[in-house]
Amino acid sequence: MNVNAAIQRFLDDRDARNHKTALAYGSAMGYLRRALVANEIEPSMVDISTLALSWTSWMVDSLRHLSPASEHLYATGYASFVQFCYDRSWCGVPPERVRSTLKTLLRRVDLTPPALPEDEVNVFLAWVEGLTTQAGVRDCAMFTLMAHTGLRRAEIQRLKWTDVDFVSLTGTVLAKGGKTRRFHMSTLCASRLWTWKVHCSSATQVFPMAME
């Protein structure tokens, strides 16, 4: 069986994949074909049994112009293809070696979102301070709290009035992993939160329905 035929068999085996994964794997196989051709291997002429570990570095090289996240996505598709072929005894390259090689070659994906400069945050907070509707007062308090404390969206959603201490300007929130963490509020943050408390119709949740 040649490489193109193996790729087609792999792409046709979609039982365990959703639509987006199938599309990503299709793109990954397109990059694999181009990588092989760039290294003078014609996928329609070469048997899949010739699959070698060197193909892994060729594949990664073909992805270097993409973002690290896309690089990882298509490399995962390639690793799944190798696993598919190995499980059917079409090739002799252990998938574990391919994954290990990918781990050393792929660029690190930075999952930290870019932070806004402090002056831009202040401009935004000054703008929301001018909102006078009930939703505006809520958003002013919510965005100030997020900017000043670093609370995440899910933490904001779970926050209750009993978690907030306006005397000590502190609060506790249920964080990721079910752990409780303490946060400190600025005077401005506490003031805006108290203003929202006066307007808020909920006696329990600080921001009911705020993120929906």
Q: Is 127 helix (H, G, I), strand (E, B) or coil?
A: helix
Q: How many CB atoms sit inside 10 A of residue 86's CB? A: 17
For residues 58 and 38, is the Cβ–Cβ distance under 8 A?
A: yes
- Above 50 in pLDDT, residue 192? yes
Residue type, 17: R
Please give the pLDDT value at position 211. 45
What percent of the chain lies above the pLDDT cut of 90? 60
pLDDT digits (tens, 9 = 90+) for 123-146: 888 888 888 888 889 999 999 999
The CA-CA-CA angle for residues 22, 27, 33, to 5°, reads 125
Give residue 14's pLDDT band: very low, low, confident or very high (50, 70, 90). low
Write out pLDDT tens, residues 56-93: 999 999 999 998 889 999 999 999 999 999 999 999 99
* Secondary structure (3-state) at 172: strand
Is the confidence at residue 147, as pLDDT, over 80? yes
User: How much is the pTM?
Assistant: 0.55
